[in-house]
Homo-oligomer: A and B are copies of this chain.
Amino acid sequence: MAKNFATRKEDYSKWYNDLVLKADLAENSAVRGSMVIKPYGYAIWEMMQSALDKMFKDTGHVNAYFPLFIPKSFFSKEAKHVEGFAKECAVVTHYRLKNDGKGGVMVDPDAKLEEELIVRPTSETIIWDTYRKWVQSWRDLPILVNQWANVVRWEMRTRLFLRTAEFLWQEGHTAHATKTEAEEEAERMLGVYTQFAEEFMAMPVLQGVKSENERFGGALETYCIEALMQDGKALQAGTSHFLGQNFAKAFDVKYLSKENKLEHVWATSWGVSTRLIGGLIMTHSDDSGLVLPPKLAPFQIVIVPIYRKEEERIAVIEKGKEIKADLERVGIRVKLDDRDTQKPGYKFAEWEFKGVPLRIAIGPRDLQNNTVELARRDTLTKSFTEMEGLRDKALDLLDEIQDNLFQKALKHRDENTHSVDTWDEFKEIIKNDGGFVMAHWDGTNETEDRIKTETKATIRSIPLDYEDSEEGICVYSGKPSKGRVVFAKAY
C-alpha cells in the first residue's frame, strides 16, 4: 500500500498528493483543475456536511438553493465585490451545440446568449437580487439561509482539495434588521466553525479578523479561523463576513422598520468548503498514511478476520458480524472486511493507510481465548483485549483517540507559534520552520505588502482582542503598532 509513498520530511508536497491519491480520496479529472472526489473522500465530506448542517439548523438556519448561473452585469453592482471575484470565472456564452458534419459537435454560433452567464464563484449577488423580493417589513427578517453547492473559481495552479477550479461548499447568507444583529450573526458563525474545527476535525484554530488586504470583496469585516499545518504553513479554514449594507444597497433591498421607516437591510455571509478535507489530512496524517479523527471517520472501526481453513473463515466471520452488530448498536460505524480476495496483511496495510481509527483483528485463537487484537491508528500500537466489555472499551478508545489527535495538533501549533520582535528573527523563522509568527505591525497595507514580497508571509489574522492588547513597534517599519498580529506563509 505505502510503497513509493514519500515521507513528510522528504517532500511534504509529494507526501500530500500521494496520500490523497493512494488513500482513494480524490484524483484529477480530464477537466483541468477539476477533481473527482472518490467515494472514500466523499464519505468524509458527508460526515462533515452532516455535522455542520446540524449545527446550522440548531442555530436557526434553513437550507435553500439558488441558481448556478449569475448574469454578468450582477458582478459590477457592488464595487469591491467585482474586484475580488469578477476575474477568474467560467463564462457561459452559448446554449447549444450542433453537429460539425465530421462526426463531432461544435458550438452553434446562432445560440449566443444576449448577456453572458457566470458560473457562480460565490452567490452574494444572485441571492441579494432574490432577497429584494423576500423582504418588505421587519417581520420578514431575519433571513437565515444556507446553501450547499458547487462553485467555480478558475485557478491556474491547483492542488487536490486545497485549490481546485470547482469545489463543494456551503455558503450562508443572512439578512438582518440591525447592524448589531448582523455582527452577532457573523461572530456566531465564526464560533460554529471554531467548534466544528476543534471538536470534529480535532484541528485547533486561531480566531481573528482579516486585514483590509485580505478581506472578502464587499465585506466590512472578515472573521476567519486559521489552522497550522504540519509543515508550518497556515490554512484558512473558514470565513464569516459582516457585509454591512453593501449588498442591500447594490440590490436595493429595503425593509419597513417597526418605526415605519424604510431602511437598508444588514447582511452576513459565511462558508467552508471541501478544502477542509485538505486541512484534515495535513493536520493529522503521518508517513503511514491518512489519520482520521473518529468523529469524521466514515468507518471508525474495521474488523479484519484471520483464517486459513474454510471452517475457520466461517467461524471468525460469524464472530465478526456479531461484534459489528454489537458496536453498531451504540452508533459506531464499523466495516467488516470479509473480502476473500485479499490477505489479512494487505487489509491491515490498506485500512491503516486509509486512516481508520481502530482495527480489530480476530483469528481462530482469539475465538478460543475470547479475545481480540486492537490496533490504534493514531499511536500505531496494538494490544489484546477481552471480548467481554469490548463495546465500552471501543467507545472509550474512540474518545481517547479524538482527544489525543487534538492535543497533538495543539502541541504542534503551540511549539510553532513564536512571538517575534526583530525583523531578522521574523525572516529567519518564516524561512526555516515556518509556523505562526506573532509580531507587531504598523497597520498599513504598504508594510503588509512589503513583508509579503520579502518573505511570502501574510497576515493570517488580527486577533479579536487586538485593540485591547499591548502596544509596540512594527517589526518591519519600526512605526507604532496597536498589537501583535499573526503572520505565516499560507496555503
Contact = CB atoms under 8 A, between A and B. Distances in A.
Interface of A: 27, 29-31, 34-39, 42-43, 45-46, 62-76, 82, 86-98, 103-105, 107, 116-119, 126, 129-130, 133, 139, 145, 149-150, 152, 154, 166, 168, 341
A36 B63 CA distance: 12
B67 A105 contact: no
A160 to B, nearest CB: 13
A13 to B, nearest CB: 22
**Chain A interface main SS type:** mixed
A97 B103 contact: no
Given A90-B95, A129-B30, A82 B65 contact: no
B105 A68 contact: no
Contacts of A168: 65
A130 B29 contact: yes
A452 to B, nearest CB: 24
A47 to B, nearest CB: 12
- Residue in A90, A98, A107 with the greatest tally of chain B CB atoms within 10 Å: A90
A341 B104 CA distance: 61
A110 B74 CA distance: 22
A107 B95 contact: no
A276 to B, nearest CB: 15
A101 to B, nearest CB: 12
Given A68-B166, A72-B105, A91-B96, 7 more contacts: A30-B74, A30-B129, A36-B67, A39-B63, A43-B63, A91-B93, A150-B150
B36 A130 contact: yes
Contacts of A31: 67, 69-71, 117, 126
Nearest to A143: B39
A456 B440 CA distance: 76
A186 B123 CA distance: 37
Given A97-B75, A107-B91, A126 B30 contact: yes
Given A69-B166, A72-B97, A105 B119 contact: no
B95 A89 contact: yes
A253 B93 CA distance: 33
